[in-house]
Amino acid sequence: MDKNVFLIEDDRFLREMLSQKLSEQKIKVDVAMDGKTALEMVKTIKPDLVLSDLLLPDVDGFDILAEIQKNPNFANVPVLVLSNLDRMEDIKRAKDLGAKDFMVKSNFTSNEIVAKVKEFLKI
């Protein structure tokens, strides 16, 4: 496992399913269930990709995106937003804060999400 994804997702079912599917692809997964935990973990990990929800307990995904942008360890780490927010202004705001792509959860299967992650990781 030489690729590492940082998954920030509060929905237990989706978090566990994506973690399992990514692990099956030999991708290491670090997980945060809420924004506060994610911000703490950002200080100590160096992932190859961040996969983040926007609607989180404590601290929202927009604040996490802003914090990641300030962290030199994350300078070249792409962020893929996975959210149920689908308004153009939310998508634009996420991209303005550094998100490389935005996937609306309800529009994609878990296999499609994993395929997008693999595309970002070039595997």
What kind of fold does domain 3-121 have according to CATH?
Rossmann fold (3.40.50)
pLDDT tens by residue, 58-83:
999 999 999 999 988 888 899 999 99
> Which residues of the chain fall short of a pLDDT of 50?
none
Q: DSSP assignment of 13-27, as one string?
A: HHHHHHHHHHHHTTE
Decide: pTM greater than 0.75. Answer: yes
DSSP symbol at 32: E
Domain boundaries in the chain? 3-121
Which pLDDT does position 72 carry in this prediction?
Answer: 87
Which pLDDT does position 1 carry in this prediction?
Answer: 62
